[in-house]
Amino acid sequence: MSKKSKAAKRQPQEGAGDIVDLILEDHKPIWKLIKKMKSDDATVAQKRAAFKVFAPTLVAHAKPEEQTWYKRMKSKKGQKVEGLEGDIEHGLADKLCKELKHTSDNDMFEAKVKVLAELVGHHLEEEEDMLPSFKKESKKEERLALGEVYFRLRKKYL
């Protein structure tokens, strides 16, 4: 094997990196859409448009997160409940997203989309509070390895 191809093999996938950074980066567009979906100034049409982007964006973030960070949490003593809590919150958001796709009544849509936005906003806040301690108790190599898995899965769900 040539020097060049060996080096290429060692290179992480482009776009991958520390899982903590990947998660925080993925939260940014989700936060923006949350704000739009719960805004009193937005029209129903604008909320529907935001939701259309939000639903697949959330899946492409949540599924890889479950299979990396949450999986790790559930394997650690004292963190299992937090990991399960995350899974449950993802499940509730998923259920609401599925319902919203078939909610034609505008008032019902606005009510449900607000609950969804508040639920996911609360969920992201909790995660962002937990990420610094995850960073403290883990090694960089582990976070990079998890980042690679996260990145690969994310592409699958996008």
Interacting residues toward Fe ion by CB under 5 A: 65, 127
Distance CA 52, CA 14 (A): 28
Q: Would you say 8 and 143 are in contact if contact means Cβ atoms under 8 Å apart?
A: no
Which of 65/110 has CB closer to Fe ion?
Answer: 65
Q: Which residue is nearest to Fe ion (CB)?
A: 127
Contacts 24+ apart (CB under 8 A), 133-142: 134/20, 134/69, 135/20, 140/18
Which of 103/121 has CB closer to Fe ion?
Answer: 121
Taking alpha carbons only, the member of 58, 72, 65 closest to residue 23 is 65
Question: Around Cβ 143, how many Cβ atoms within 10 Å?
Answer: 22
Question: How near is the Cβ of 91 to Fe ion at its closest, in Å?
Answer: 11
Question: How near is the Cβ of 128 to Fe ion at its closest, in Å?
Answer: 8
Question: How near is the Cβ of 7 to Fe ion at its closest, in Å?
Answer: 33
Question: How near is the Cβ of 153 to Fe ion at its closest, in Å?
Answer: 13
Which of 34/113 has CB closer to Fe ion?
Answer: 34
Question: How near is the Cβ of 120 to Fe ion at its closest, in Å?
Answer: 8
Which of 110/127 has CB closer to Fe ion?
Answer: 127
Taking the alpha carbons at both ends of the chain, their separation in whole angstroms is 34
DSSP letter for 69, please: I
Say which amino acid occupies 119. Answer: L
Distance CA 22, CA 83 (A): 18
Which of 110/116 has CB closer to Fe ion?
Answer: 116
